[in-house]
Copies of this chain bind each other. A is one copy, B any other.
Amino acid sequence: MSDLPKSVSLREVGPRDGLQNELPVPTDAKVRLLDMLSQTGLKRIEAVSFVHPRAIPQMADADEVWSQAKHVDGIRYSALVPNLKGTERALAAGFRELEIVVSASDTHNRKNINRSTAESLADIEAVAARVHEAGATLEVIISTSFGCPYEGEIPVSRVLDVATHAVRSGADRLAFGDTTGVGTPSRVAALVDGVRSAHPDVPVLMHFHNTRGTALANLLTAMQHGITEFDASVGGLGGCPYAPGASGNVATEEVVHMLEDMGIDTGVDLDALLEVAAYAQEIVGHELPSGVLKAGPRTRTVAA
């Protein structure tokens, strides 16, 4: 197959995005999950979020989790922040890669963080200034980039407008989230082409959900259109608690399994990752949606 990258950069989001959408798990389980992930070959891990404990009780122990977890050299750990207060906490905790979310859909933004998209973009400008002052970087994650559970269609032009505002507000990187798994390959191609044309020098990451089975087809399409950075969640942990019907971050092991078989280097040890997925399933106490976790990798044969 032509036009495919030789390697991709995966960011593991299970410890934050994943666990944020599960019932709270004990601090030591979060630490162990992080430590196990740090041994798989993953080079980027979204570790925690510094949100208000009343809003997201699952992340109330972010400081303890991060102070107890091993920080492995060569791994880029990141934290999600909702505002300036969270930014101060993340910077004080030592994070140098921060992320902040804005929704391309005004209705979803209001439901998610109780303000309009325009208000969020104004907040982002202040957060970016503080982050840069501290010598750190800020990624703006644009959620509902492929459609909104409330508004339905979100035109590519709207998503690109939000992206351009985010870059002007100081975003060092952009991420586009398929928050409720409504993306399809043609939508991915259109958005990726638009973003790369409008912001050729800004690193772009895609965050796909597998809610309707399209995650790996979307990821393949994004690669064919030049994207080499993807989020994925071990075991398929998590989703979005404010988005009805949103289940299923694409499972990291499904991504690694497909890409490595295609000769695209992820740097990840699939067997080690599957052990982490089994552990993730154990701590949340219910079956996770990952097919590779259930069925095993393609190389696992049985006696005839």
**Any B CB within 8 A of the CB of A137:** no
Tell me the minimal C-beta distance from A93 to chain B in angstroms.
Answer: 34
Distance in angstroms between the alpha carbons of A5 and B149 in the assembled complex? 29
- Enumerate chain B residues within 8 angstroms of A189, measured Cβ to Cβ: 1
Whether A181 contacts B301 by the Cβ 8 Å rule is: no
B-contacting 9-mer, from A11-19, A82-90, A209-217: A209-217
**Any B CB within 8 A of the CB of A288:** no
Whether A149 contacts B301 by the Cβ 8 Å rule is: yes
The A217-231 residues at the B interface (CB cut-off 8 A) are: 217, 219-221
The A275-300 residues at the B interface (CB cut-off 8 A) are: 290-292, 294-300
Tell me the minimal C-beta distance from A112 to chain B in angstroms.
Answer: 11
Distance in angstroms between the alpha carbons of A186 and B107 in the assembled complex? 40
Q: How large is the interface on A (under 10, 10 to 19, 20 to 34, 35 or more residues)?
A: 35 or more
- Enumerate chain B residues within 8 angstroms of A170, measured Cβ to Cβ: none
Beyond A184-B258, A245-B302, 19 additional contacts (C-beta under 8 Å) are A1-B186, A1-B221, A111-B304, A147-B298, A150-B302, A151-B301, A152-B299, A152-B301, A180-B295, A181-B291, A185-B220, A185-B262, A210-B213, A212-B258, A213-B215, A213-B254, A213-B292, A214-B216, A246-B295
Residue ranges of A at the interface with B (Cβ–Cβ < 8 Å)? 1, 107, 110-111, 147-152, 180-182, 184-187, 189, 210-217, 219-221, 244-248, 250-251, 254, 257-258, 261-263, 290-292, 294-304
